[in-house]
Amino acid sequence: MGRWSTYPTTVNDLREIDISFLSKHDYLKPDNFRSGVITWSYSNGNKNSISIHTVTNETDGVLTLDYTYNNTEKINYQIQLITRPSNLGKGLIWFFVCPYTGKVCRKLHLINGYFKHRSALSGIMYKSQIESKKWREWSKIFKGDFDDKIYSELYSKGFKKFYAGKI
């Protein structure tokens, strides 16, 4: 008789805040104060949002997160931002300092109500680590064929299937 599966928590299933997202939306400009909201939506239609505030200097800053966890617990805390010189010699690169592990990272994941470095949750794995050996082989061979991004782009509104009369 079979048993219930005990799949571990994967990094891909966790909500995350990424430095590149903050940088792309001008939250990390030097000597700046910026506020905004990050919203995630689930496949069932539910949405979650977090208020964020950044205060930056030339080489460091503070990210303040304000949100409600599980519709009951109001959470407000700060995450330190630091910079390091680029290995290419072209400016500075921004990083988070995890408030729980103290590790310097570019992504923080929502773990038990707080944004932490992935090492704060023991036993966490990437999605590819729990795939079978056979499925990993198939993924390598047919990687481009199973990409949902290409399919959604092909059938998105405004996508032109023909250009100057040619496919």
Query: How large is the average pLDDT for residues 31-37?
Result: 90
**Could you count the other beta carbons within 10 Å of the beta carbon of residue 62?**
13
Q: Is the pLDDT of residue 43 over 90?
A: no
More confident residue, 62 or 167: 62
For residue 22, give the nearest of 37, 7, 42 by alpha carbon. 37
The Cβ-side half-sphere exposure at 18, using a 13 Å CA radius, reads: 6
Q: Which residues contact 94 (CB under 8 A, 6 or more apart)?
A: 19, 22, 23, 28, 61, 81, 82, 83
| Most confident among 68-72, 96-100, 110-114 (mean pLDDT) | 96-100
The model scores a pTM over 0.75: no
Q: What percentage of the chain carries pLDDT values higher than 90? A: 29
Residue 25 in contact with residue 121, Cβ under 8 Å?
Answer: no
Helix (H) or strand (E) holding 158: none
* Residue 129: per-residue pLDDT: 79
Q: Is the pLDDT of residue 41 over 70?
A: yes
Q: Using CA atoms in the order 158, 162, 163, 167, what is the torsion angle rounded to 10 degrees? A: 140
Average pLDDT of every residue of the chain: 83
Question: For 99-151, what is each residue's pLDDT tens digit?
Answer: 999 999 999 988 888 899 988 887 777 777 778 888 888 877 877 666 667 66
**Could you count the other beta carbons within 10 Å of the beta carbon of residue 81?**
22
Q: Which residues contact 95 (CB under 8 A, 6 or more apart)?
A: 19, 81, 82, 83, 84, 104, 105, 106
Query: How large is the average pLDDT for residues 16-29?
Result: 90
